[in-house]
Amino acid sequence: MDVRDLRVAKGVERFINGEYELFGLPRRNVAQGKPCPPLTVNDSYSFCSFCVHLAVNSYNIAVHGYGDAVTEGYSERGFDGIAIAFEDIPLDSPETARRVAEAAISEYKDSLSDPEPMSPPNVRILMIQVKMKGSAKTDELDSLGGSAYRFLTMPDFAADMSPNDMVMRWWHIYDEIRKVYERNDVAFTPELDLLFIYQGDKNEEDPLNTWACEAQQEILSDKLQQDKVNFKTWRIDEIIEAIALADQAVDGVLAGAQLLRLPEARAVGYIGYAPAKSIADMIPKVKILGDKRLRPDERVFADNIRSFTGDLKNPGAVALRKTLVDGEADQVILRHNGITIVTRDAKMVPREDGSFDVELKAYQIVNGAQSSFILQRNCELLANAFIPIKIVVTEEDEIKDGVVLGANLQSQISPYDMLARKKEIRALQQAFESIDYGRPDKLWFQRRRGERFPNRVEHSFQILTPRQLLEAFVAAIEGMPHTVHTNAGKLINKVPDSIFCSNHHPCVYRALGWLVAAGRHWADHADMDWVVEGPTSILSMNRGKNLYIPRHHFIYAMWRLIDPNPDDVDVLQGKLARNSEKVEARFESICEQLCDRNAAIEFGNRAARAVELAREDSGPIGGEVRKLPFTRRLRKTVQEV
């Protein structure tokens, strides 16, 4: 079966290559440890996964990651996608679903005595079936309706239907919410959308299919005793419309800005000020799990190297909030450094009062993320508040880098912070996110300093930064742990020519991540202090005697112990096909072995033993790790353990 329309084929190809920043790379729901087959345009999983991503985006169902909604993709029957959200809150587990539902129901019941009580909280459910064929049979549409009914009503759904783990994850989330409503005697009427996607042409529409959708919609409404049921089909035309929606960058209108055009340069620029409320209104809002309030959409901060949007540690953001809370909004423009926006295009629409409505195309707030958060959170205090603003119109990365550096002088910026802006690093973060939460070899990639991962505290050993993966690559793949100790600051010059290359398979860096995670597990077991990152010579003066200094040599030893052919690294130097089955099998095997804590500790004991054998004496090891002879001796001693 092939993708019939070239526009759709191009969309699937971009999806496979991770070119939709909104989506990330497609997630593969396969048994842990088994390599995934290559993704191709005409692969049924790729097509189904792509369509599910489009549907969740088009229906605006809140999920932590679009890949969460993909439930199958290999067969023509059954659920290919499911997404369930409580109001606009994404759900990642049955426990989360229960906690969110209980809090919302409690608030709703408390409001019943008010003059204007709240409406019952709404649960949104989207169920999707996809097929690559150009036609759909009536019984296939009936089957989707029947499967949805059984999912929503059968207590023994798992036993009777034998669904896969991803479907069951969503069923348990749904079941926990349903039980909360039942315990509180509140009518449970979720908003249900059923969507059947296939490659039919609009002019080939079968009236029987339309009738089948309407019939199933009526049957479900009657059986579920509620009218919030909607059954639709997508054909080629609807798929293409959904692609356009997914590819749409974040645009916005900054109303009432007073701007002066800057002198001619390599990029067009404007400087001035704008109403604080206009800035808050311009930024799209989303709802985050565990937070009743809306917050700015992270998409407008993708180029911002600062930490997580809501981080209030920034002194400027703290001062801005205090100024607003103290009732001194008219002083904001005098006390605040302002916000910097980089945009592909800016159209000035004059207003009668001499100000402008600025239509921004694909804009990014590269400085002022925390301030934007404060403005949005304190909208009621923004009257008479104005914010200094700079707008730079460019698509050149070199100019963007200069703007970012120049706009972020309030605290130190390291070259590793700037790594967060590179497209290769973004793509790698998407690849890490595309791994199912339930897999034991799951890792989290902290692209920007301070970025947090909700409900992942128990996996702190498995959170990696670009610097840690960069150093692990040089220590293990390039076989130069002594260089990492000596010239770590210069390693960043290897990006992206030889490290974090766009043609490197993401599983390479996942395996390196597991080498680091295994080192942390071993150090914790051995009561040693594993340095997260930074020069050990400085840290050793401020930390305990159990500081484990030769961590990069440990990584090197671990690599040589666990990889069957550690010297075969040619495949990483420009010869690696991104979807190479051989490479994927090799590195996924490393992840599979090290994700078991006991196995990681066992490998760690051997690696630590090899490091000890390589030492020439029992004195301080600080200077020894910086020398090539130590690495050469370690290469030999690894074979002895």
Of 413, 445, 479, which closes a domain?
A: 413
> Rounded mean pLDDT of 210-226?
90
589 and 613 housed in the same domain: yes
- Whether the per-residue pLDDT at 542 is higher than 70: the answer is no
- Whether the per-residue pLDDT at 55 is higher than 90: the answer is yes
Q: What is the band of 310 on the pLDDT scale with cuts at 50, 70, 90?
A: very low
pLDDT (0 to 100) of residue 537? 41
Q: Which two tokens stand for residue 493?
A: 């010059």
Q: CB atoms < 10 A from the CB of 239, how many?
A: 25
Q: CA torsion sign, 13 to 18 to 24 to 26?
A: positive
The answer to whether residue 42 is domain-embedded is: yes
The answer to whether 120 and 37 are in contact (CB under 8 A) is no
Task: Give the number of C-alpha atoms closer than 13 A to the C-alpha of residue 316, restricted to the C-beta side.
Answer: 23
| Residue length of the chain | 641
Q: CA torsion sign, 351 to 357 to 358 to 360?
A: negative
Residue from 509, 497, 474 nearest 584 by CA: 509
pLDDT (0 to 100) of residue 309? 42
103 and 236 housed in the same domain: yes
- Whether the per-residue pLDDT at 543 is higher than 50: the answer is no
The answer to whether residue 429 is domain-embedded is: yes
**Residue 70 forms beta bridges with which residues?**
81
The answer to whether residue 44 is domain-embedded is: yes
349 and 469 housed in the same domain: no
- Whether the per-residue pLDDT at 576 is higher than 50: the answer is no
DSSP code string of 579-591: T-HHHHHHHHHHH
- Whether the per-residue pLDDT at 446 is higher than 90: the answer is no
pLDDT (0 to 100) of residue 32? 47
Residue type at position 109:
K
257 and 379 housed in the same domain: yes
Phi, psi of 193 (to 5 degrees): -120, 125
> Rounded mean pLDDT of 1-9?
87
Peptide bond into 496 cis (omega under 30): yes
- Kindly report the average pLDDT of the chain as a whole number: 85
Q: Domain of residue 107: give its range.
A: 6-246
> Which SS3 state, helix, strand or coil, does residue 18 take?
coil
CA angle, 241 as apex, 240 and 243 as ends, to 5°?
65
pLDDT (0 to 100) of residue 407? 62
pLDDT (0 to 100) of residue 380? 92
- Whether the per-residue pLDDT at 82 is higher than 50: the answer is yes
284 and 431 housed in the same domain: no
Q: What is the band of 195 on the pLDDT scale with cuts at 50, 70, 90?
A: very high
Pairwise pLDDT comparison (607 vs 583), residue with the higher score: 607
241 and 314 housed in the same domain: no
DSSP code string of 33-88: TSPPPPP-TT-HHHHHHHHHHHHHHHHT---S-GGGGB---SSSSS-SEEEEEETT
587 and 538 housed in the same domain: yes
H-helix or E-strand spanning residue 318: helix 315-325
pLDDT (0 to 100) of residue 430? 79
> Rounded mean pLDDT of 481-490?
88
Percent of the chain with pLDDT strictly greater than 70: 85
Distance (Å, whole) CA 603 – CA 376 = 49
Distance (Å, whole) CA 7 – CA 189 = 38
The answer to whether residue 31 is domain-embedded is: yes
Q: Report how many domains make up the chain.
A: 3
Q: Could you tell me the maximum CA-CA distance found in the chain, to the nearest angstrom?
A: 84
Q: What is the band of 539 on the pLDDT scale with cuts at 50, 70, 90?
A: very low
The region of weakest confidence among 259-273, 281-295, 304-318 is 304-318
Residue 300 is given by DSSP the state G
441 and 362 housed in the same domain: no
626 and 490 housed in the same domain: yes
pLDDT (0 to 100) of residue 39? 81
Q: pTM for the full model?
A: 0.70
- Whether the per-residue pLDDT at 622 is higher than 80: the answer is no
> Rounded mean pLDDT of 411-427?
71
Residue from 73, 71, 66, 63 nearest 39 by CA: 73
276 and 214 housed in the same domain: no
Q: What is the band of 76 on the pLDDT scale with cuts at 50, 70, 90?
A: low
DSSP code string of 368-399: -HHHHHHHHHTGGG-TT-EEEEEEEE---HHH
> Rounded mean pLDDT of 52-65?
91
Of 392, 413, 434, which closes a domain?
A: 413
- Whether the per-residue pLDDT at 577 is higher than 90: the answer is no
The answer to whether residue 1 is domain-embedded is: no
- Taking each continuous run of H as one helix and of E as one strand, the counts in the chain are 23, 18
Which conformational region is residue 249 in: left (phi greater than 0), alpha (psi within -120 to 50 degrees), or beta? Answer: beta
430, 432, 433, 437 alpha-carbon torsion, rounded to 10°? 170
Q: What is the band of 367 on the pLDDT scale with cuts at 50, 70, 90?
A: confident
The answer to whether residue 426 is domain-embedded is: yes
**Residue 96 forms beta bridges with which residues?**
none
Of 246, 273, 307, which closes a domain?
A: 246
Distance (Å, whole) CA 429 – CA 419 = 12
Q: CB atoms < 10 A from the CB of 93, how many?
A: 15
What are the tens digits of pLDDT across the range 162-182? 778 889 999 999 999 999 999
The answer to whether residue 175 is domain-embedded is: yes
Phi, psi of 261 (to 5 degrees): -75, 135
> Rounded mean pLDDT of 424-452?
80
pLDDT (0 to 100) of residue 29? 60
pLDDT (0 to 100) of residue 405? 65
335 and 433 housed in the same domain: no
336 and 467 housed in the same domain: no
H-helix or E-strand spanning residue 508: helix 506-525
Distance (Å, whole) CA 492 – CA 424 = 13
pLDDT (0 to 100) of residue 210? 86
pLDDT (0 to 100) of residue 414? 67
For the ranges 261-270, 595-604, 620-629, the maximum mean pLDDT occurs at 595-604
Q: What is the rounded radius of gyration, in angstroms, for the C-alpha atoms of the chain?
A: 27
The answer to whether residue 330 is domain-embedded is: yes
pLDDT (0 to 100) of residue 457? 56
